[in-house]
Structure 1
Amino acid sequence: MRFGLVLCLSAVSLAAPTHFLDHAYDWSDELAEFYGKISQYINTAKHNIRAPSACDVSKIALPSYASGLTSPDGLKPVYVALGRGTQNYTCADSSSKTAPVAAGAVARLYNATCIAANYPGMLETLPNLAYKVTLPTNEYASFPPSNIDLMGHHFFYDATTPEFNLNTTPDKQHGIVMTKKGGSIDAPSNALSGEHGAVAWLYLTTTDGTVGNYKSVYRVDTAAGSPPKTCKGMPSAFQMQYAANYYFFGE
């Protein structure tokens, strides 16, 4: 079943420089939940004249269910991004005795900061939706279903250095975040698994080469991305689609 919906939200009902849900999608339980939350927020905003009209990043907090990761104590939230792309892997051969080896990731990052500040419950839902939506052909286009703007790109600078380049255009320069892995926990059992499971949640610390006052990055709310357990029948290099939320903290 396919449908289209134009949903116009005023500043009082959605405190973000975005609009929602004006593309056509396949119906799913995740979309039903997403729509339900939007309906609740709009109804609340209609009865609350003090609803925020801008996003206050000081209200952003790492979700309590990510407590297994090192806490960002003493640091301030800077941005939150929805990541959508691929986790990349290699196989030495195509036998069942060989396991895939992680070979970095490539993803576009979309600015979900205002959603995180005002509607964290909605943010949790986005990766599950984003995983099921194909990236726009135009690299700089906003991303459905929330039509949030491109913020930057995630890739690996080298084999062990995840990079987040947040300098999208000449007038959108948010810095460059070079990181290394500081810790991880398994994705929860209710995470969207995709073909072979959701990739782990990560705590990353910044390293030399970072441009901007960034100190840590958290990857949470992951959807899919894990490889098969063995390389049986797999090519020497392959990709697995994934989505996740990335929280950036600084001093």
Structure 2
Amino acid sequence: MHFSGLILASLATGAVAAPTSNVFNDVYNFDSNLEEFYSRVSAHIGRYANGPSSTPDMSKVSLPSSSLPAPTGTLKYVAVGRGTQNYTCADSTADAVPTLIGAVANLYDASCVAANFPDLLDLITDIVLNYSLPSANVQTSMPPANLDLLGHHYFETATEPAFNLNTTPDKQLGIALTAKRNSTAAPSGSVPGQFNVGYGAVPWLYLTSVTGTTDGYTAVYRVKTAGGAAPSTCAGQPAAFQVQYSGQYFIYA
């Protein structure tokens, strides 16, 4: 499902009917970001009487500015990732430091949002961190923007992040196996964790493809991260634990 005029209309209806009392705000986690999202959706309604194009013009999409190397390929997809960063601890004392052992996330297709409604993309990325963690096996779209499942992110080996876009027999978009080439700290002010509580946002990354990649994918950028960082020490932590995060993935070929 694309982020179409029909979806905009349905979201605007939700915006009009959004809960306003503190009691309902608590029940529905209706925070200021979600309020801003619905407000902006309502503002977009009049721009697209027949709905925006269902085929996103990716030439209009720009990678967020950072110190990471500039992209050289053609942008194919923009995805919102929602999952966990996974860590281990040698022991549960302050002398040990958590070790990152990978990540697992669902990737949701935000290409149309990035091309047609760029002002909504960052809001969506922050908002979804406060939603329940999705199951990897569920094909349902992701609220609040009803983004379709694009694929799955996991680690093929300890050093090879994978982006598998083959989700169904009829939706075979290929696999990007990658290696980290560069990273930079998430900007100051990034969302530190769920409901704005946590240890910080994981770094932004520049990944390039390695052997095993299909369909011509060349690079993946992880940007606009929210949450995911581990505590500074293992004090009180189990041997293995997860920290929830969200982020944007720009996939190039």
TM-score by length of 1: 0.86
Question: Residue 111 and residue 232 in structure 1: after superposition, are their counterparts in 2 closer, same or farther (change >3 A)?
Answer: same
Shift, 1:119, TM fit: 1.2
1:40 aligned onto 2:18: no
Structure 2 residue corresponding to 1:115, chosen from 104, 113, 116: 113
Distance 1:126 1:51 in 2: 18
Determine if contact 1:135/1:143 at 8 Å carries over to the other structure.
Answer: no
Residue 178 of structure 1 aligns with which residue?
177
Letter paired with 1:201:
W
Return structure 1 stretches of 4+ with deviation > 3 angstroms: 18-25, 43-46, 49-54, 135-138
Question: Residue 44 and residue 158 in structure 1: after superposition, are their counterparts in 2 closer, same or farther (change >3 A)?
Answer: same
Aligned length: 234
1:204 aligned onto 2:203: no
More helix by share: 2
Letter paired with 1:10:
G
Distance 1:107 1:50 in 2: 30
Tell me the alpha carbon deviations over residues 192-222 of structure 1, each in whole angstroms, 9 at most, x when there is no partner: 1011101011111111100111111011111
**Structure 1 stretch displaced more, 91-100 or 117-126:** 117-126
Letter paired with 1:244:
G
Determine if contact 1:19/1:146 at 8 Å carries over to the other structure.
Answer: no
Structure 2 residue corresponding to 1:217, chosen from 194, 216, 220: 220
Shift, 1:9, TM fit: 5.7
Within-5 A mapping of 1:154-173: 154-173=153-172
Residue 79 of structure 1 aligns with which residue?
77
Structure 2 residue corresponding to 1:103, chosen from 101, 104, 109: 101
What RMSD over aligned residues (CA atoms) do the two structures have, in Å?
A: 2.4
Structure 2 residue corresponding to 1:246, chosen from 246, 249, 253: 249
Structure 2 unmatched ranges of 5 or more: 19-26
Residue 60 of structure 2 aligns with which residue?
59
Query: Helix, strand or coil: the match of 2:218?
Result: strand
Distance 1:51 1:25 in 2: 29
Shift, 1:121, TM fit: 1.4
Question: Residue 83 and residue 20 in structure 1: after superposition, are their counterparts in 2 closer, same or farther (change >3 A)?
Answer: farther
Letter paired with 1:84:
R
Tell me the alpha carbon deviations over residues 151-191 of structure 1, each in whole angstroms, 9 at most, x when there is no partner: 11100011110000000001111100000001111111111
Residue 187 of structure 1 aligns with which residue?
186
Query: Helix, strand or coil: the match of 1:135?
Result: coil
Aligned-pair identity in percent equals 47
Residue 234 of structure 2 aligns with which residue?
231
Letter paired with 1:185:
T
Query: Helix, strand or coil: the match of 1:34?
Result: helix
Residue 68 of structure 2 aligns with which residue?
69
Structure 1 unmatched ranges of 5 or more: 1-7
TM-score by length of 2: 0.85
Distance 2:250 2:109 in 1: 11
Distance 2:95 2:134 in 1: 38
Tell me the alpha carbon deviations over residues 43-100 of structure 1, each in whole angstroms, 9 at most, x when there is no partner: 3335xx896453222222212xx33111003x11101111000000000011101110
